[in-house]
């Protein structure tokens, strides 16, 4: 694989990613998330700033965040899983990591990967994912409920995310620069 440029929108500059600042309840579990989509990363800056303000990390008057830019070189021998599309397997993975009440074996299945790539269930899709987890489309583990949820997600419009889950995976990243953007 060639080198690829990846982006991370944040309330701060992130030269050295640190898992202690990462949440477990994200789409692919605990990890440092990036994307190849510049606009997705820029849009996440606003979300990150809001969360940082609510947690008291930064001043409520903060009106900017940072687009962190990295180069990824996957020369190392990593265990990588890449979802080709937002399908039932992807949905089960996302639901399992976002809820402790469904697909209990699913989380274990993904723990051995250094890097997981796939579509992002972004802020626009949270309502659909939550409704799926809550069983509003039918029993959570049914194919019928999954098909309905996926159709509402409009998977062809979702961009990518890369979840770096281990220190070995993080070593493939080189921080290039951070650009300041207004929220």
| pTM across the whole model | 0.91
- How far is CA 25 from its chain centroid? 10
Q: Residue 1: what pLDDT?
A: 57
Count: domains in the chain: 1
Share of the chain above pLDDT 90, in %: 66
Closest CA to 121 of 27, 39, 47: 27
Give the C-alpha separation, 14 to 97, whole Å: 24
Whole-angstrom Cα distance, residue 74 to residue 93?
23
Interval 56-95: pLDDT, tens = 999 999 999 999 999 999 877 899 999 999 899 999 999 9
Domain with 162, as residue range(s), is 4-182
The pLDDT value recorded for residue 166 is: 96
Report d(CA 109, CA 103) in Å as an integer.
10
């Amino acid at each position: 694989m060639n080198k690829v440029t990846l982006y991370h929108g944040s309330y701060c500059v992130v030269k050295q990613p640190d898992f202690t600042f990462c949440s477990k309840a994200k789409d692919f579990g605990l990890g440092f998330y990036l994307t190849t989509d510049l606009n997705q990363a820029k849009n996440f800056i606003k979300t990150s700033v809001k969360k940082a303000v609510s947690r008291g990390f930064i001043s409520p008057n903060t009106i900017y965040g940072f687009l962190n830019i990295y180069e990824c070189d996957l020369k190392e021998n990593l265990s990588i899983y890449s979802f080709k599309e937002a399908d039932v397997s992807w949905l089960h993975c996302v639901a399992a990591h976002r809820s402790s009440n469904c697909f209990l074996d699913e989380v274990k299945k993904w723990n051995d990967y250094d890097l997981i790539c796939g579509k992002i269930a972004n802020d626009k899709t949270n309502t659909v994912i939550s409704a799926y987890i809550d069983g509003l489309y039918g029993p959570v583990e049914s194919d019928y409920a999954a098909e309905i949820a996926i159709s509402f997600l409009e998977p062809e419009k979702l961009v990518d995310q890369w979840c770096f889950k281990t220190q070995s995976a993080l070593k493939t990243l080189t921080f290039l620069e951070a650009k300041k953007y207004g929220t």
